[in-house]
Every structure is written in structure tokens, then in C-alpha cells.
Amino acid sequence: MNVVVTGGAGFLGQRLARKLLARGALSAPDGRREPIERLVLLDVVPASDFGDPRVRVIAGDLSDAEVVREAFSAGAASVFHLAAVVSGQAEADFDLGMRVNLDASRLVLEACRASGRKPRVLFTSSVAVYGGELPPLVDDRTALTPQSSYGVQKAIGELLLGDYTRKRFVDGRVARLPTISVRPGRPNRAASSFASGIIREPLNGEASVCPVGPDLRLWLLSPRRAIDCLINLHEIPAERLGRARSVNLPGVSVSVAQMIDALRVVAGNAAAQRVRFERDPVIERIVGSWPSAWDVTRATSLGLEGDIDFEAIIRAYVEDDR
Amino acid sequence: MNVVVTGGAGFLGQRLARKLLARGALSAPDGRREPIERLVLLDVVPASDFGDPRVRVIAGDLSDAEVVREAFSAGAASVFHLAAVVSGQAEADFDLGMRVNLDASRLVLEACRASGRKPRVLFTSSVAVYGGELPPLVDDRTALTPQSSYGVQKAIGELLLGDYTRKRFVDGRVARLPTISVRPGRPNRAASSFASGIIREPLNGEASVCPVGPDLRLWLLSPRRAIDCLINLHEIPAERLGRARSVNLPGVSVSVAQMIDALRVVAGNAAAQRVRFERDPVIERIVGSWPSAWDVTRATSLGLEGDIDFEAIIRAYVEDDR
């Protein structure tokens, strides 16, 4: 079977690719396990192919219909649609966000529909689809009330994937991701970039600026568990999901102060002292609008697992990425 | 001030236009009452201009950027965006629905944004944004769970209008319309077309087929009250609406059997006996997924009024349209 990963050069895309190559197989649209013969990694910059002959790297703009056509030229039984303009950037550049997060998502869905094979499509959504006055318990069926352009574009992606699934054009699954922490590498333009930076930079002996107050609570998931959840959600038989295709992935709810306390436990006081607070009202408004936790009953019943606590997340980062 | 009405040749568009011309003025973006100097009626077929020199009729495809540019060439302080491919047709022709209900809506929003005047934009949404397992009380903040392509496209329009409002590109207001009954004229391709047909045709001495069972409950609003609500919602100061720009308009909740009973009271037994039941599972599925009532607390507190009962709706139809 052929698998397409959009955002395949990104941090999650590359990690997913490695895991898929190691697994070697996935459930095909008919539910039978099939070997992965071809893995297309599509991104605006060239992805690593890991020296694996199954990998085909395509570098190009996902909002260019020609590029999408090329990526799907050999067909696709499974699509992991991870590509997105991140929250801070989509807020600063509205048109870019609409072009990639909405228009390109439509091109991907249309390519899937045109294939006629009803591929499984795993789409990553986000905490950012929620916001404003939230009910005491946020769950998979809570109203989507995004307070950022990124959140609006993700919510629209969810609605489209739902309708394409209902129309039997695709077999869609939406993973609503908590904030991913700890991401390796450098800061990016996600409003939540600091949720990795305040751990990663101090572990590297560098200073880090935290743009939100110590009491702000975040809902976090490690990259390791996130990738497991994406693959597991892909593998669940359609009939177990029913009509409701958006699943809130499990997270751990921690305040920024608790994150720094955990850093102190794992890496000592000197590391913890490398975090300096300097508030940024734009970031505070966006991240503060997201839920700091949500009900995980459905995810758990589907066998999707999060992390034990934030200390475990830091230790996983040290193990996997340093 | 200039006003643009999309769907201006449609039944609601023409009725709105007549009412706006009679009023002669609306609240401009700055809140001050201004005379309507120019009323653009845009639709795929030519609208009536009522012989009024303020009216400019444009016939063209709303999903054609050139047509939208022409409609907005003189600027617009207010936009009533009513144009849509109706529910039954959007379900049968997915691509047409996406092109008009989504792509054309984006062209309209972009034209408003480009004007730089932050126009008031009144967008008509629908009961069809709800569906599936609904909570006992549906209100303005209930999760949008559309079960039809039309409903999905309307929900996306709401999300976009919300974000354009938040970004201060426009001052948006969404009227979620109950099913409009009694519409004059002929049946259309809305799944709910029968909700007018089973009253209108018998009053004309014609037979009418009802594609749903007598127990199905509908949430109805007369054209007269709907137009009043659209204009009144346009006139409400932005600060009274706050962030939540979607308002569920009031309706009356009646079963099909009760509708026919009311017809019997108004027009006699012979009229009521012209309705024949012949179930259509596609229509039954779509219309049956919509809420049969919703909470009207917010609409009422904003001064938006519905009808007294279904008998009053029939009498208003006889008065206005026959």
C-alpha cells in the first residue's frame, strides 16, 4: 500500500515516518493489514528519506494543485495530513494560514476523493479549536469555539473531514492534539512554542523566556505518545468510531510553575533558573483561550494513551532527543 | 450608504430589498443611521429593481471573482449575504454546494475586507448546522454537528464570519434561520421544501405530497418575521452582541399533523385532504436530523421576534402572498 504524509519533513512527520517504516504495515481501507510499499513524504522543504527505498520525498507547496497531484500520482491507501501553518504564524499572516490550513487541506481531501479508494485520512487538529467561555468539562462533543485563525482553520478542517467521511469519499479520523512538549530543535512560530522552549533550552544550558505567567495551565502530550496515538487512531476499525470522528487525545494538565518544578527535579536548580518570565499579551491571549484539560474517557476507551506526568515527558525527551 | 444583497433575486432577497427601500436607511458601520443611496441586488438570475433608481441589478455567478468585484465596485457599508445552494441540491451536487456556499462566501468576505470599511455583514445560517444526537435544549452555544453538506457549509460560513469579525475585517452577524414557511411560488430543491408545499399547494386547490411522517416536528418562521429579524439583527449595536455573533432566531415548533390541522382551521377540510403522504428516506434523514425547537432566550433579549403560532403563519401567508 501507498502512504502519504503531508508535513513529512516536520518534526512529527519525520518521527511518524520512521515509526511507519519500522512497523512496515498498516490497515488498508478494507481493514486488512498490508505492507507499506511506498511512503510519500511531502513538505515545503525536502524531508529525510532515511536511506529507505520505500520513501519518496516531494518538496513543494501543498497549496499548489500540481504538487498534490504528484504526491498522489501512485494512489494512496492512507494519508496522514499533518502539514499546517502554526498558530502564531496563522494569526500574523491570515492569508497564508487560509491558503495552507484550509485551501491545501481541501486539495488533499479532493485528491483522496479522486482516488476512489476511500483512503483512511488521519488529520491533526488541536486544543485551539476550543476557546472563550468553556464548560467545566470539555469533551469530544463540546462546541468548537476557536479564538484564533489557526483554531478556526482547524475546526473547518474537522467539519470538512467529517462531511467527506459521511459522503464516503474518505474514511477520516481527527486527532485533537494537546500542546506537544517537549519538541526538539529550535523555537517555532506556534504561540505555544515556549511550552517546549522552557524545558529544552535550559537542558541545553541556554536561557529561555516564558511569555505567560507561572499559573497558566497547559494540556500537554509528549511527541512519543502523540505518534503512538496517531498510528493507533489510524488503525481503529471505522465501525468502532461511528459517526463522531474527532477524538480528543489524552494529555497531562500542568501549570508553567509545575513544569519548571519538574525540570528542577530532573535537571537541577541551575536548569530551572534559566527560565525568565517576560509576558507577551498576544501569546497569553491565544494560549490562555485553550482548555487546560479535557475529558479523556473516549480516547481511553479507544485504547489511546497519554503520558503519566510531566516528569515522564521530560525524561522521554532526554531519552529520545538528546 | 451602499448595501449589497446576495441572492437578491430570491424570494427572501426580493422581500428584504422591498423592505429596505421602504425603510430608506440603515445603521452604517459607525452606528449612525444613513440613507440607502444604492442597493445592489446580486444573483445568478436578474432581480426585479422595483422601478427604484437606487437599485442596481447584477446577474452573475457569485463564485466568479469578477462578478463579486463588480457588485462591490462602489463599496458597501452593509451586506446581506443570503445566496446559497439549498440543502437538497447541495447534498445531490457536492461540488456545486462547495463552490457557492463556501467559495463564494469567501469571495464576499474578501470583498468586504478589501473595502477597508468594516461593513456590517448579515449572513443567513440554518437549523441544518445542528444534527445527530442533540442535547435536550439546543441554544446559540450548542455544538454544531451538521449531518448534511449544506449544514457543514453553513457551519463553515459561521466560523469564517466569526474570525473575520474577530480580526476586525467585518462586523458580522449570523442569523440561524428556522425553516421558512410558508414560501410562495413553486417547490425548490431544499429538503424542507414540503414545509411550504403542504400548505401552499392545497390553498391553491392543488394536491401536495408530504415526504415525511405526520409526527415529524419542524421549527418554523414566517417570511415576514424572518425579514424583520434580519433587519433588526443588522441594526443591533456590535457591543450588545459581544463575541458570539450567531443568533438562533425564534420559531414555532409544530408537527406535520399540527400543520395540516391548522390548514384545516384556516381553509377547511377539503384543503387539508389535498395532502398525501409518500415518504422519501433521503429527505426524512436530512430534515429529521434538524432540531425541532431551540432555546430563544438570547434572540428574545435582543428584541428579535417570531410568530405566535402556525395558524398565524398561514394567515400571514394568505395576507402577504396570495
Name the residue facing A94 among B146, B162, B167 (closest C-beta): B167
Residue B322 scores a pLDDT above 90: no
Q: 445603521: which residue's cell?
A: B27
pLDDT digits (tens, 9 = 90+) for A244-283: 999 999 999 999 999 999 999 999 999 999 999 999 999 9
* Closest-CA distance of chain A to residue B165, Å: 11
pLDDT digits (tens, 9 = 90+) for A232-242: 999 999 999 99
A150 is catalytic: yes
* Closest-CA distance of chain B to residue A137, Å: 14
Note whether B115 and B75 are within 8 A (CB): yes
Find which of B152, B169, B246 to mutate to test the A interface (most A CBs within 10 Å of its CB): B152
Report pLDDT for B133. 87
Report pLDDT for A103. 98
Q: What is the pLDDT along chain A (322 residues), one digit of tens a residue?
A: 999 999 999 999 999 999 999 999 999 999 999 999 999 999 999 999 999 999 999 999 999 999 999 999 999 999 999 999 999 999 999 999 999 999 999 999 999 999 999 999 999 999 999 998 899 889 999 999 999 999 999 999 999 999 999 999 999 999 999 999 999 999 999 999 999 999 999 999 999 999 999 999 999 999 999 999 999 999 999 999 999 999 999 999 999 999 999 999 999 999 999 999 999 999 999 999 999 999 999 999 999 999 999 999 999 999 998 8
Sequential DSSP letters for B224-284: HHHHHHHHHHHHS-HHHHTT--EEE---EEEEHHHHHHHHHHHH-HHHHTTEEE---HHHH
* CA closest to B93 among chain A residues: A167
In chain A, which residues touch B (CB < 8 A)?
94, 132, 141-147, 149, 152, 155-156, 159-160, 162-163, 166-167, 243
Which domains, from first to last, does chain A contain?
2-177+222-250+294-301 (3.40.50.720), 194-216+253-292+308-321 (3.90.25.10)
Report pLDDT for A322. 80
Residue contacts between A and B (CB atoms, under 8 Å): 42
Question: Hey, is A311 helix, strand or coil?
Answer: helix
pLDDT digits (tens, 9 = 90+) for B273-314: 999 999 999 999 999 999 999 999 999 999 999 999 999 999
Q: Which residues are within 8 A (CB) of B80 and not within 5 positions of it... i.e. 6 or more apart?
A: B3, B4, B5, B6, B13, B16, B122, B230, B234
In a 10 Å sphere around its CB, with 0-12 CB exposed, 13-18 middle and 19+ buried, how is residue B222 labelled?
buried
Q: ipTM of this predicted complex? A: 0.95
Give pTM, 2 decimals: 0.95
Interchain proximity B160–A152, CB inside 8 Å: yes
Q: What is the DSSP letter of B129?
A: G
Which chain B residues are closer than 8 Å to A145 by Cβ? 141
Find which of A99, A142, A156, A289 to mutate to test the B interface (most B CBs within 10 Å of its CB): A156
Residue B272 scores a pLDDT above 90: yes
Distance CA A201, CA A185 (A): 9
Q: How far, CA to CA in Å, does A181 sit from each of A16, A177, B82, B258, B305?
A: 16, 11, 44, 58, 50
Q: Which three cell numbers stand for residue A82?
A: 499533518
pLDDT digits (tens, 9 = 90+) for A7-22: 999 999 999 999 999 9
Q: Where are the alpha helices (H) located in chain A, listed in sequence order?
A: 11-23, 65-71, 87-92, 94-97, 105-115, 149-166, 194-203, 223-235, 238-241, 256-267, 269-272, 281-288, 297-301, 310-321
Report pLDDT for B169. 98
